[in-house]
Amino acid sequence: MEKEISGVRIQCIKGDIAAQGDMDAVVNAANAELMPGGGVAGAIHRAAGPGLAEECTSLAPIKPGEAVITGAHHLPNRYVIHCLGPVYGVDKPEEKLLANCYRNALKRSEEKGIRSVAFPAISTGAFGYPLEEAAQVALRTVMKEAPSLRFVKIIRFVLFSTRDYAVFEEILAQLASGEHV
Ligand code: ADP
Protein backbone atom coordinates (compact mmCIF):
# COMPACT_ATOMS: atom_id res chain seq x y z
CA MET A 1 0.00 0.00 0.00
CA GLU A 2 1.16 3.53 -0.75
CA LYS A 3 0.05 7.06 0.16
CA GLU A 4 1.54 10.25 -1.23
CA ILE A 5 2.15 13.02 1.30
CA SER A 6 3.60 16.36 0.11
CA GLY A 7 5.13 14.66 -2.94
CA VAL A 8 6.71 11.84 -0.89
CA ARG A 9 5.51 8.29 -1.50
CA ILE A 10 5.06 6.48 1.82
CA GLN A 11 4.83 2.73 1.33
CA CYS A 12 4.18 -0.29 3.55
CA ILE A 13 5.19 -3.74 2.36
CA LYS A 14 5.66 -7.16 3.93
CA GLY A 15 9.22 -8.34 3.37
CA ASP A 16 12.87 -8.56 4.37
CA ILE A 17 14.82 -5.34 4.96
CA ALA A 18 17.96 -7.02 3.56
CA ALA A 19 16.26 -7.67 0.20
CA GLN A 20 15.23 -4.16 -0.93
CA GLY A 21 17.33 -3.91 -4.09
CA ASP A 22 15.37 -0.99 -5.56
CA MET A 23 16.11 1.35 -2.63
CA ASP A 24 19.10 3.70 -2.27
CA ALA A 25 19.36 3.10 1.48
CA VAL A 26 18.14 0.64 4.10
CA VAL A 27 17.88 1.38 7.81
CA ASN A 28 19.34 -0.96 10.40
CA ALA A 29 17.66 -1.38 13.82
CA ALA A 30 21.13 -1.35 15.31
CA ASN A 31 22.60 -1.96 18.74
CA ALA A 32 24.76 0.72 20.39
CA GLU A 33 27.97 -1.00 19.30
CA LEU A 34 26.75 -1.26 15.67
CA MET A 35 27.63 -4.95 15.68
CA PRO A 36 25.79 -7.91 14.15
CA GLY A 37 23.00 -9.20 16.39
CA GLY A 38 19.57 -10.79 16.05
CA GLY A 39 16.61 -9.57 14.02
CA VAL A 40 17.24 -6.75 11.58
CA ALA A 41 20.90 -6.24 12.55
CA GLY A 42 21.56 -9.94 11.96
CA ALA A 43 19.89 -9.93 8.54
CA ILE A 44 21.68 -6.75 7.43
CA HIS A 45 25.16 -7.76 8.58
CA ARG A 46 24.77 -11.27 7.14
CA ALA A 47 23.83 -9.90 3.75
CA ALA A 48 26.41 -7.08 3.83
CA GLY A 49 29.36 -9.25 4.86
CA PRO A 50 32.10 -8.54 7.43
CA GLY A 51 33.17 -5.27 5.80
CA LEU A 52 30.10 -3.57 7.27
CA ALA A 53 31.02 -4.37 10.89
CA GLU A 54 34.57 -3.21 10.14
CA GLU A 55 33.36 0.13 8.80
CA CYS A 56 31.05 0.51 11.82
CA THR A 57 33.82 0.16 14.38
CA SER A 58 34.95 3.79 14.20
CA LEU A 59 31.35 5.14 14.40
CA ALA A 60 30.28 3.28 17.57
CA PRO A 61 28.92 3.64 20.15
CA ILE A 62 25.76 5.59 19.34
CA LYS A 63 22.98 6.74 21.70
CA PRO A 64 19.22 6.10 21.48
CA GLY A 65 17.69 8.25 18.75
CA GLU A 66 20.96 8.73 16.84
CA ALA A 67 21.62 7.64 13.25
CA VAL A 68 24.91 7.11 11.40
CA ILE A 69 25.48 6.20 7.76
CA THR A 70 27.85 3.71 6.11
CA GLY A 71 28.32 2.01 2.77
CA ALA A 72 26.17 -1.04 2.01
CA HIS A 73 29.00 -3.48 1.17
CA HIS A 74 27.36 -6.62 -0.34
CA LEU A 75 23.78 -5.42 0.22
CA PRO A 76 22.01 -4.38 -2.99
CA ASN A 77 21.81 -0.70 -1.88
CA ARG A 78 24.14 2.32 -1.76
CA TYR A 79 23.99 3.01 1.97
CA VAL A 80 23.01 1.60 5.35
CA ILE A 81 21.72 4.01 7.99
CA HIS A 82 22.15 2.62 11.50
CA CYS A 83 19.63 3.81 14.11
CA LEU A 84 19.56 2.92 17.79
CA GLY A 85 15.96 2.74 18.95
CA PRO A 86 14.93 3.14 22.60
CA VAL A 87 14.52 0.05 24.76
CA TYR A 88 10.86 0.25 25.81
CA GLY A 89 10.47 1.06 29.50
CA VAL A 90 14.18 1.88 29.86
CA ASP A 91 15.28 4.69 27.51
CA LYS A 92 12.98 7.66 28.10
CA PRO A 93 11.06 9.46 26.77
CA GLU A 94 10.54 6.55 24.39
CA GLU A 95 8.32 8.36 21.94
CA LYS A 96 10.74 11.24 21.44
CA LEU A 97 13.74 8.91 21.09
CA LEU A 98 11.92 6.73 18.56
CA ALA A 99 10.83 9.79 16.55
CA ASN A 100 14.45 11.02 16.64
CA CYS A 101 15.54 7.77 14.93
CA TYR A 102 13.27 8.44 11.96
CA ARG A 103 14.09 12.17 11.84
CA ASN A 104 17.83 11.57 12.07
CA ALA A 105 17.75 8.79 9.46
CA LEU A 106 15.98 11.18 7.07
CA LYS A 107 18.54 13.87 7.90
CA ARG A 108 21.41 11.48 7.01
CA SER A 109 19.52 10.59 3.80
CA GLU A 110 19.13 14.23 2.75
CA GLU A 111 22.84 14.90 3.40
CA LYS A 112 23.70 12.21 0.83
CA GLY A 113 21.00 13.11 -1.70
CA ILE A 114 19.29 9.75 -1.17
CA ARG A 115 15.98 9.42 -3.05
CA SER A 116 14.58 6.22 -1.50
CA VAL A 117 14.97 4.76 1.98
CA ALA A 118 13.51 1.61 3.59
CA PHE A 119 12.87 1.32 7.33
CA PRO A 120 12.13 -1.68 9.53
CA ALA A 121 9.82 -1.21 12.56
CA ILE A 122 12.60 0.08 14.84
CA SER A 123 12.48 -1.01 18.52
CA THR A 124 9.54 -3.42 18.04
CA GLY A 125 11.57 -6.63 18.31
CA ALA A 126 14.13 -7.24 21.04
CA PHE A 127 13.61 -3.68 22.36
CA GLY A 128 9.96 -4.40 23.21
CA TYR A 129 8.15 -1.31 21.86
CA PRO A 130 4.45 -2.17 21.36
CA LEU A 131 3.86 -2.37 17.62
CA GLU A 132 0.81 -0.10 17.32
CA GLU A 133 2.41 2.67 19.37
CA ALA A 134 5.64 2.35 17.39
CA ALA A 135 3.72 2.46 14.09
CA GLN A 136 1.97 5.66 15.16
CA VAL A 137 5.28 7.32 16.02
CA ALA A 138 7.04 6.09 12.86
CA LEU A 139 4.30 7.10 10.43
CA ARG A 140 3.44 10.43 12.09
CA THR A 141 7.12 11.39 12.16
CA VAL A 142 7.81 10.70 8.49
CA MET A 143 4.54 12.38 7.47
CA LYS A 144 5.53 15.46 9.48
CA GLU A 145 8.99 15.52 7.86
CA ALA A 146 7.72 14.92 4.30
CA PRO A 147 7.16 18.59 3.33
CA SER A 148 10.76 19.52 4.17
CA LEU A 149 12.45 16.70 2.24
CA ARG A 150 14.31 17.83 -0.87
CA PHE A 151 15.79 14.56 -2.09
CA VAL A 152 13.91 11.70 -0.43
CA LYS A 153 10.87 10.82 -2.55
CA ILE A 154 10.13 7.25 -1.39
CA ILE A 155 9.94 6.10 2.23
CA ARG A 156 9.19 2.39 2.59
CA PHE A 157 8.31 0.52 5.77
CA VAL A 158 9.31 -3.13 5.46
CA LEU A 159 7.33 -5.28 7.89
CA PHE A 160 8.39 -8.78 8.66
CA SER A 161 5.07 -10.39 9.61
CA THR A 162 1.56 -10.26 8.17
CA ARG A 163 0.26 -8.86 11.45
CA ASP A 164 2.87 -6.10 11.59
CA TYR A 165 2.09 -5.22 7.98
CA ALA A 166 -1.65 -5.05 8.74
CA VAL A 167 -1.08 -2.67 11.67
CA PHE A 168 1.14 -0.31 9.67
CA GLU A 169 -1.21 -0.38 6.70
CA GLU A 170 -4.24 0.50 8.82
CA ILE A 171 -2.51 3.35 10.65
CA LEU A 172 -1.08 4.79 7.43
CA ALA A 173 -4.57 4.74 5.87
CA GLN A 174 -6.07 6.45 8.92
CA LEU A 175 -3.39 9.14 9.16
CA ALA A 176 -3.43 9.85 5.42
CA SER A 177 -7.19 10.30 5.44
CA GLY A 178 -6.94 12.73 8.34
CA GLU A 179 -8.81 10.49 10.80
CA HIS A 180 -6.52 11.00 13.74
CA VAL A 181 -6.52 8.06 16.08
P1 ADP B 1 15.01 -3.72 17.91
O2 ADP B 1 16.20 -4.24 18.67
O3 ADP B 1 15.15 -2.27 17.49
O4 ADP B 1 13.72 -4.03 18.60
P5 ADP B 1 14.79 -6.01 16.05
O6 ADP B 1 15.70 -6.28 14.93
O7 ADP B 1 14.81 -6.96 17.20
O8 ADP B 1 15.07 -4.50 16.50
O9 ADP B 1 13.29 -5.95 15.51
C10 ADP B 1 12.69 -4.85 14.89
C11 ADP B 1 11.52 -5.32 14.02
O12 ADP B 1 12.03 -5.84 12.80
C13 ADP B 1 10.69 -6.46 14.64
O14 ADP B 1 9.31 -6.18 14.35
C15 ADP B 1 11.14 -7.70 13.88
O16 ADP B 1 10.10 -8.65 13.74
C17 ADP B 1 11.46 -7.11 12.51
N18 ADP B 1 12.44 -7.88 11.70
C19 ADP B 1 13.27 -8.89 12.07
N20 ADP B 1 14.02 -9.29 11.03
C21 ADP B 1 13.65 -8.51 9.95
C22 ADP B 1 14.02 -8.46 8.58
N23 ADP B 1 14.95 -9.27 8.07
N24 ADP B 1 13.41 -7.52 7.78
C25 ADP B 1 12.49 -6.67 8.28
N26 ADP B 1 12.08 -6.69 9.56
C27 ADP B 1 12.64 -7.60 10.39
pLDDT digits (tens, 9 = 90+) for 143-178: 999 999 999 999 999 999 999 999 999 999 999 998
Ligand 1 touching residue 158 (CB < 6 A): yes
Above 60 in pLDDT, residue 181? no
Cα dihedral 86/116/175/90 (nearest 10): 0
Pairing assessment for the beta strands 25-29 and 116-119 based on DSSP bridges: parallel
Ligand 1 touching residue 160 (CB < 6 A): yes
Specify the pLDDT at position 173. Answer: 97
Cα dihedral 180/152/103/95 (nearest 10): 30
pTM of the entire predicted model? 0.98
Residue of 72, 89, 69, 170 whose CA lies nearest to 129? 89
Q: What is the mean pLDDT of residues 133-137?
A: 98
Q: Ligand 1: which atom is nearest the Cα of residue 18? A: 23
Ligand 1 touching residue 135 (CB < 6 A): no
Ligand 1 touching residue 121 (CB < 6 A): yes
Ligand 1 midpoint to CA 30 (Å)? 10
Q: Which of 80, 88, 124 to mutate to test the pocket of ligand 1 (most atoms within 8 A of CB)?
A: 124
Q: Which of 94, 159, 160, 163 to mutate to test the pocket of ligand 1 (most atoms within 8 A of CB)?
A: 160
Ligand 1 midpoint to CA 106 (Å)? 19
| Amino acid, res. 104 | N
25 band by pLDDT with thresholds 50, 70 and 90:
very high
Q: Which distant-in-sequence residues (6+ apart) come within 8 Å of 179 by Cβ?
A: none
Cβ distance 174 to 28 under 8 Å? no
Domains and CATH numbers, the chain: 2-176 (3.40.220.10)
